[in-house]
Amino acid sequence: MSAREDAAAAFQFLSRFPVKGGGDFSRDLLRRSVVYYPLVGAAIGGSAALCAAAAAWLLPAWPAAVITLILWVGLTGGLHLDGWMDSADALLSYRSRERMLEIMKDSRVGAMGVLACVLLLLLKAALLAAFIEGGTFYELPLLLLPPVWSRWYMVRAMARYPVARGNEGLAASFAQLQPRQERRTLLTAALLSLAAAAAPLALGAASGTWPQHLAAACLAPVAAVLCGHLAARRISSRLGGLTGDVYGALNELLEVALLLLLVLLQHNLM
């Protein structure tokens, strides 16, 4: 066992970054790797921030936002979007618990899944465009916050909610996470958030912007907990637990919720 192998497994599982040395993806390795989920989120968010900076320098806000979103989705390989669509197909069918779980296992995407995906991507693109247009270059590091805290909440959901299919399915690989793993993941996410809040100062932003950036870093986990709890509790009550698809759906939901938070803060505080 090594931290390097655990971190590599997290990157290989959650992203398309060319990382080697992730091991055999055993259940034990997958459970250990969750500690590094916020780090994967930071890598995705940092890449998105750099892309947004370059694209906004050359293009208007909307094209820059769409290009940034294409990179964002590409770095995840569409993993969480797949969970979002499968969850939408199942949960919006209003069928029995057993039938909803069957729908999630179906590799085909239904009408509700397609609609949910299109609307989600439209909202993400609109929020990215508003954030790029309404802010400055120095605020772009705050784009680390949505992917960091959405991936942290996935770990929280794994630790605190039952698995819908028992020992079957992907979610079973993350069952019985230890409380210390959740705490370590929280610490990692908090440190990355502070780094994102401090980055504007390092890039030359006025020191008076520090309180606003710190507010964003502090409110992001609060918003993630509130939105994540409401969604996870509701879904768990309908399915008798959570699934791997639901973890991905929660990630997508929280990313868009935290992007909305950044836009609201930008227009009211920053």
Q: What is the pLDDT of residues 56-87, one digit of tens each?
A: 999 999 999 999 999 999 999 999 999 999 99
Judge contact between 67 and 55, C-beta under 8 A.
Answer: yes
Question: Which has the higher per-residue pLDDT, 65 or 95?
Answer: 65
User: For residue range 173-200, what is the model confidence (pLDDT) as tens digits?
Assistant: 887 788 888 999 999 999 999 998 887 7
d(CA 144, CA 196): 6
Q: What share of the chain is helix, strand, coil (3-state, %, to 5)?
A: 80, 0, 20
Query: What's the full length of the chain, in residues?
Result: 270
pLDDT band at 208 (very low <50, low <70, confident <90, very high): low
Predicted confidence at residue 212, as pLDDT, reads 78
Q: Give yes or no for residue 132 having a pLDDT over 90.
A: yes
Q: Give yes or no for residue 207 having a pLDDT over 60.
A: no
